[in-house]
């Protein structure tokens, strides 16, 4: 056993010092869709492009010449045509300042044609609850952290099991968009298991709107100070989108190093957009979100003792 451990340590040291050149095979580019849209009176854009190889960090090349439309499955008269722009962007623009994209409760079909190949998808546009308020919780200094203020948003899940949400937040106008800052909810909790229907969102979800960063001594940096601002956006998403974002987080929130030996293998995430060519794989996602939001400037008057 001791000899095995010695051999493992020697191999580990060699592996750390030796430069390894990977010989990954060249992969065929895939068609990718960014069709994440919102129920609002603003232009909505779908991006269509080809994927790059793993080590190619250049800007993806947009695909032109496509026809793009979205139609209400139950009311075909409600249809939205997207006009081609630059570099694979296709945009729908409201005809009036008050015209919104989609109707709450509708089911929508996306149809895209590119050089004779048709791509299709379905999604529903679900309602979203309003955000009641935002407060800050104060944690006194202890052995692990300094004095800290944590923002909390308060909102109640809609009645009826199976509602899914994506909660986004901005600190001082900057979106918190790191992989481990993806904040999604199934009803008022993290998953479909359990009974969280119709409740206030649980405390971990309420506090995942904060930036969690640590200094060189691994001490948590105070998320907020008086004078900072926060903006919270609560988005309804389809259940397919919920599981898609779960996989995005698993694939991207990776610590690296030795832990990667036990991590989920890297892989393309299942799309909800399908080609009429059964042999063709595509990537990307189609979703339409309804949104509620609330912003607040942090002052001493906003500090609350929060009880579950």
pLDDT value at residue 25: 61
120 and 45 together in one domain: yes
144 and 112 together in one domain: no
Decide if 166 is inside a domain. yes
Decide if 75 is inside a domain. yes
110 and 234 together in one domain: no
pLDDT value at residue 7: 41
Decide if 265 is inside a domain. no
Decide if 308 is inside a domain. no
Long-range (24+ apart) CB contacts under 8 A made by 171-175 are 171/211, 171/223, 171/224, 171/228, 171/229, 171/230, 172/228, 172/229, 173/229, 173/231
Range of the domain at 198: 133-244+292-302
Decide if 148 is inside a domain. yes
Decide if 138 is inside a domain. yes
Asked if 250 contacts 243 with a C-beta cutoff of 8 angstroms, the reply is no
Instruction: Examine the fold and report which residue of 105, 125, 145 is the final residue of a domain before the chain moves on.
Output: 125
Decide if 68 is inside a domain. yes
pLDDT value at residue 214: 86
Could you give the CA distance from residue 163 to residue 185 in angstroms, rounded to a whole number? Answer: 8
Could you give the CA distance from residue 139 to residue 221 in angstroms, rounded to a whole number? Answer: 12
110 and 162 together in one domain: no
298 and 191 together in one domain: yes
Instruction: Report the domain count for the chain.
Output: 2
154 and 297 together in one domain: yes
The torsion defined by the Cα of 157, 161, 162 and 167, in degrees rounded to 10, comes to 10
Helix/strand/coil (H, E, C) string of the chain?
A: CHHHHHHHHHHHHHHHHCCCCCCCCCCCCCEEEEEEEECCCCCEEEEEEECCCCCCCCCCEECCCCEEEEEECCEEEEEEEEEECCCCEEEECCCCCCCCCCCCCCEEEEEEEECCEEEEEEEECCCCCCCCEEEEEEECCCCCECCEEEEEEECECCCCCCCEEEEEEEECCEECCCHHHCEEEECCECCCCCCCCCCECCHHHHHCCCCCCECCCCCECCCCCCCCEEEEEEEEECHHHHHHHHHHHHHHCCCCHHHHHHCCCCCCCCCCCEECCCCCCEEEEEEEECEEEEEEECCHHHECCCCC
Could you give the CA distance from residue 297 to residue 94 in angstroms, rounded to a whole number? Answer: 32
107 and 44 together in one domain: yes
Decide if 266 is inside a domain. no
What CATH number is given to the structural domain containing 101? 2.60.40
- Pairing between strand 174-175 and 274-275? unpaired
pLDDT value at residue 199: 97
Could you give the CA distance from residue 121 to residue 118 in angstroms, rounded to a whole number? Answer: 10
pLDDT value at residue 8: 39
150 and 298 together in one domain: yes
Structural tokens at position 163: 């509602």
150 and 192 together in one domain: yes
Could you give the CA distance from residue 254 to residue 12 in angstroms, rounded to a whole number? Answer: 21
Going residue by residue through the chain (308 aa), what tens digit of pLDDT does each one get?
A: 444 334 434 444 444 555 555 555 667 899 999 999 999 999 999 999 999 876 777 888 999 999 999 999 999 999 999 999 999 999 999 999 999 999 999 999 999 999 999 999 999 999 999 999 999 999 887 766 678 899 999 999 999 999 999 999 999 999 999 999 999 999 999 999 879 999 999 999 999 999 999 888 777 889 999 999 999 999 999 999 999 999 999 888 656 554 444 555 666 789 999 999 999 999 999 999 999 999 999 998 888 754 44
Could you give the CA distance from residue 15 to residue 284 in angstroms, rounded to a whole number? Answer: 36
Instruction: Examine the fold and report which residue of 125, 151, 172 is the final residue of a domain before the chain moves on.
Output: 125
Asked if 237 contacts 168 with a C-beta cutoff of 8 angstroms, the reply is no
69 and 194 together in one domain: no
Determine the length of the chain. 308
156 and 95 together in one domain: no
99 and 148 together in one domain: no
Instruction: Examine the fold and report which residue of 103, 125, 147 is the final residue of a domain before the chain moves on.
Output: 125
């Amino acid at each position: 056993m001791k000899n095995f451990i010695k051999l493992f340590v020697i191999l580990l040291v060699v592996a750390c010092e030796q430069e390894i050149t990977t010989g990954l095979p060249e992969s065929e580019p895939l068609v990718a869709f960014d069709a994440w849209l919102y129920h609002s009176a603003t232009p909505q854009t779908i991006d269509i492009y080809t994927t790059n190889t793993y080590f190619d960090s250049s800007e993806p090349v947009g695909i032109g010449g496509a026809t793009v439309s979205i139609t209400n499955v139950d009311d075909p008269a409600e249809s939205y045509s997207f006009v081609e722009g630059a570099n694979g962007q296709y945009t729908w623009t409201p005809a009036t300042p008050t015209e919104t994209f989609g109707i709450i409760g509708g089911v929508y079909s996306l149809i895209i044609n590119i050089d004779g190949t048709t791509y299709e998808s379905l999604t529903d546009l679900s309602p979203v609850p309003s955000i009641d308020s935002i407060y800050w919780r104060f944690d006194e200094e202890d052995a692990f952290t300094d004095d800290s203020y944590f923002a909390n948003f308060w909102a109640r899940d809609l009645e009826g099991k199976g509602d899914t949400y994506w909660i986004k937040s901005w600190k001082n106008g900057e979106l918190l968009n790191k992989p481990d800052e993806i904040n999604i909810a199934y009803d008022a909790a993290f998953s479909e298991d359990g009974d969280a229907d119709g409740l206030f969102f649980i405390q971990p979800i309420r506090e995942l709107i904060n930036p969690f960063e640590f200094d060189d001594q691994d001490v948590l940096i105070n998320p907020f100070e008086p004078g900072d601002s926060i903006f919270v956006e609560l988005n309804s998403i389809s259940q397919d989108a919920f599981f898609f974002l779960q996989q995005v987080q698993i694939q991207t929130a990776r610590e690296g190093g030795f832990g990667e030996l036990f991590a989920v293998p890297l892989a393309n995430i299942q799309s909800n957009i399908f080609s009429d060519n059964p042999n063709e794989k595509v990537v990307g996602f189609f979703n339409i979100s309804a949104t509620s939001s609330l912003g607040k400037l942090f002052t001493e008057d906003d500090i609350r003792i929060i009880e579950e």
